[in-house]
Amino acid sequence: MSSRPMSTEAKPMTAPPPGWRRRLWHAGLLGALALMWGSSFLMVKIALRDFSPVEALTGRMAIAALFFTAALLIRQKKLERSRKAWALMAAMAIVGNVVPYLLINWGQTRVETGTAAILMGIVPLVTAVLAQAFVRGERFHRWKAIGIAVGFAGVVVLFGGPQLSGGQGVVWGAAAILLAALGLASGTILADKAGDYHSIPIGFGVMWIATLLSVPIWLAASGGALPDHVSWPSAAAVAGLAIFSTALPTLLLIYLVRSAGPSFAGFTNYLVPVIGVALGIAFLDEPLTWYAVVALALIIGGIVVGQIGGRKGKKN
């Protein structure tokens, strides 16, 4: 899900001149970003056909780390040296990557793709709650409180629907994804703290720390044994998660926020759960119940109302 950019040092991509072409360019980038994040739930499901949750996590982090290594060399950026920066990167790796992605992988062994996408739609709402305590200048207003309540009402509806009626294992899977949402929201707050650093060195450090943390977990879980059989779709899904759902969105979001503004980039929060649900229906033949539709509408509605509250907070 979307977070604030970590730096504005990087030179942006060349955008068209102001006018309809630039607006179309921004809309295309917004759609691409939403598709990258929204498709991650489908890719996780495909990856888990041949990989365990820990194996999928380790592969995702390692490939993303190699991506940022190449970016660091190509852009000729220097590594951060301060202890503060590395402590922050370690926290971002644990809270915003290793823990939530492992929970999502495990949770999606028990719940459908669309259900996971809807549950993860609460990330901006959780972020709004955490921002009150950890982000300076954030103020709590009536509309923001209403938005958070409406969004979490959607979660309650989903838990009462048939999507989560498959037994205790399904409920635990959904709970794991909700906990992952808390981790990703916390990672957003930590990313805000990294605003003084360039995005590529920070991304390099975060992904390599996440990889080094994932490998021991994989060794402990599997003893170092590799899967007996890996299909091309599963291998491609892990690579896609690393490049298109982890590394590229980080850089694309930075550009989009700087070029079109954070409010415009925030529209991805409306699109990601919808895309996740649609892809689950199209490629995995997952059912769409009225419970899911109501839950999705409430969560997206909560985000809309919460953003209204955020704008009111800036005016006051």
**DSSP calls for 249-291:** HHHHHHHHHHHH-HHHHTTHHHHHHHHHHHHHHHHH-----HH
What's the average model confidence in pLDDT over 216-223?
91
Across 13-22, 121-130, 202-211, least confident range:
13-22
Q: Could you tell me the pLDDT band of residue 164, with boundaries at 50, 70 and 90?
A: low
Residue pLDDT, tens place only, 168-198:
778 899 999 999 999 988 887 887 777 678 8
Q: Could you tell me the pLDDT band of residue 4, with boundaries at 50, 70 and 90?
A: very low
Q: What are the domain boundaries of the chain?
A: 20-315
**DSSP calls for 154-169:** HHHHHHTSGGG-S-HH
- Give the model's pLDDT for residue 304: 85
CB atoms near residue 193 (< 10 Å): 16
Is 145 in contact with 78 (CB distance < 8 Å)? no
Question: CA–CA separation, 237 vs 296, rounded Å?
Answer: 25
User: Residue 275: is its pLDDT beyond 80?
Assistant: yes
pTM strictly above 0.75: yes
- Give the model's pLDDT for residue 52: 95
What's the average model confidence in pLDDT over 128-135?
78
Question: CA–CA separation, 166 vs 175, rounded Å?
Answer: 14
What's the average model confidence in pLDDT over 286-304?
89
Question: CA–CA separation, 283 vs 243, rounded Å?
Answer: 21
Across 97-101, 148-152, 189-193, 210-214, least confident range:
189-193
- Give the model's pLDDT for residue 239: 98
User: Residue 215: is its pLDDT beyond 80?
Assistant: yes
Q: Could you tell me the pLDDT band of residue 23, with boundaries at 50, 70 and 90?
A: confident
Residue pLDDT, tens place only, 24-44:
888 898 899 999 999 999 999
What's the average model confidence in pLDDT over 268-293?
91
- Give the model's pLDDT for residue 168: 72
Cα radius of gyration (the chain): 19
User: Residue 15: is its pLDDT beyond 80?
Assistant: no
* 168, two tokens: 């205790």
- Give the model's pLDDT for residue 134: 77
Backbone angles phi and psi of 216, in degrees to 5: -60, -35
User: Residue 1: is its pLDDT beyond 60?
Assistant: no
